[in-house]
Amino acid sequence: MSLPLQERTRGYEFSGAEYKLLFEKENMGYVRFRNQKLGIFYLDPSPFLRNPLNIIYVVKIGEIPPKRTLIRVTVAETSIEYEVIGGVLQTFEIRYITGWETVDPNRLRTKGLIDREEYLHLITYPIKDRYNIHEIADCIGVHTVSSPQVAEILKGGVNTIVFTNSQKNKKLAEFNRIMSLIPNEFRQIDSPNFYKTTTKNERINLPESQEVSVAYYNANNVPVHIPIAFDAEFKPYSEIKENVEHNEALIRNYLLDTLLFNPVLLPRHYKRVEVMIYDMLDRITDQKEVPFFQDIGGAIPQLVAAFARITFKSIVTPAELAQSFQAWYSMVSEIMVGQNIEPLNVDQIYRLNSHAETLLKELTLRNDAGVPLTLETVRQNTRVPGLFFEKALEQLRVGGYIYIPNEETIRLISY
């Protein structure tokens, strides 16, 4: 899919939400700042498409809205200004606002041309039908839609390891062909939504990205959220080329609409998440060796949000909780046997360093004393040096000692 996102001009090239904001809604859109300090901004039809109209909004009274947020504004007055840009005189309409409110992206939803099942079918259409095609589709699907960032200390995204035992280079080419649905802009290191496929054991942490989704191809020494068994047969490309090209815009537009949603995991579901983490701990730590490095405390929160996002939900429901664990468990059960890859020693990969052990003791003492575990208070009161705090917290999360459901909260797993 080579068409740059900012160069889309035809109606069928816009996602459903973009089309509505371009042609049906006024004074509503996603905030893109011209001057954040002065509260001067544009309202775009999505974070991935700039508004072609020269309309500028200026906060006259009240707070400045956050960037990349969908809002509706109250306009008090307007004026016309002129500016020479690139030697051309341009006219700008200035709209002064006295208030704004956030808008649920579901307000922009209409019955789409495709639904979740059709999206999953289309992205895996090149794969010949097989017994676990639905499990493969689920895993690739949640990787493509990623998951939102819930805390500044923790990137969003869904990382996966793609396993193949035969024709590795050919299978990598086929996987990359499926992943060509990801816009090229999302492969740039400054993209808020970043995607990459790699054969290297490299941890990727990009300061400009809120979401980082990496597919590790037979590279098993980096923590991931869900694996994919990819020993599938593929249809000859000459037979499917026309169908694939015909559906490119449909697939991309569905993906872009999903990325507008940031599903929230409510506190009433925390206990169920913890039960799922216990089950994951049982499945992984009962083994002496494993074929991949499972992020135990990070997987379930990321996966449930991705399963909610792929169906355009703003709130995680019990359905996504069940779907996410079933998808993970089914794929892990297949991968645990017969992988032609050097296994990892469980005790070694989950061994805590001294800083992580110190932090775990502190968290346990505070939790036993009934003190709320928040990122801010834990960071302020720990004996772990600031330089090593985030790494220690990551070790605890990956090992399944904690999980982080939101910006404020750390939840301790007593296993």
What pLDDT, on a 0 to 100 scale, did the predictor assign at position 209?
Answer: 95
- Residue 224, C-beta contacts closer than 8 angstroms, at least 6 positions apart: 159, 160, 161, 216, 292, 293, 294, 295
With cut-offs at 50, 70 and 90, classify the pLDDT of residue 327. Answer: very high
With cut-offs at 50, 70 and 90, classify the pLDDT of residue 168. Answer: low
With cut-offs at 50, 70 and 90, classify the pLDDT of residue 165. Answer: confident
What pLDDT, on a 0 to 100 scale, did the predictor assign at position 131?
Answer: 81
pLDDT reading at 110 higher than 80:
no
Percent of the chain, pLDDT > 70? 98
Residue 301: φ, ψ to 5°:
-60, -40
What pLDDT, on a 0 to 100 scale, did the predictor assign at position 171?
Answer: 85
pLDDT: is 399 or 12 the higher one? 399
With cut-offs at 50, 70 and 90, classify the pLDDT of residue 85. Answer: confident
pLDDT reading at 77 higher than 90:
yes
- At 264-293, the pLDDT tens digits run 999 999 999 999 999 999 999 999 999 999
Which of 102-106, 188-192, 336-340 has the least mean pLDDT?
Answer: 336-340
pLDDT reading at 73 higher than 70:
yes
What pLDDT, on a 0 to 100 scale, did the predictor assign at position 104?
Answer: 93
- At 209-243, the pLDDT tens digits run 999 999 999 888 999 999 999 888 899 988 999 99
Q: Among the ranges 4-18, 144-158, 335-349, which has the highest mean pLDDT value?
A: 144-158
Q: Among the ranges 204-208, 327-331, 332-336, which has the highest mean pLDDT value?
A: 327-331
Average pLDDT over residues 29-48: 97
Statement: the pTM of the whole predicted model exceeds 0.75: yes
pLDDT reading at 1 higher than 60:
no
Q: How many Å is the Cα radius of gyration of the chain?
A: 23
The mean pLDDT value of the chain amounts to: 93
pLDDT: is 256 or 165 the higher one? 256
What pLDDT, on a 0 to 100 scale, did the predictor assign at position 156?
Answer: 97
Q: Return d(Cα 325, Cα 306) in angstroms, integer.
A: 12
What pLDDT, on a 0 to 100 scale, did the predictor assign at position 2?
Answer: 64
pLDDT reading at 170 higher than 90:
no
pLDDT reading at 340 higher than 80:
no
pLDDT reading at 167 higher than 70:
no
Average pLDDT over residues 77-84: 94
Q: Return d(Cα 147, Cα 306) in angstroms, integer.
A: 5
Q: Which residues pair with 402 in a beta bridge?
A: 412
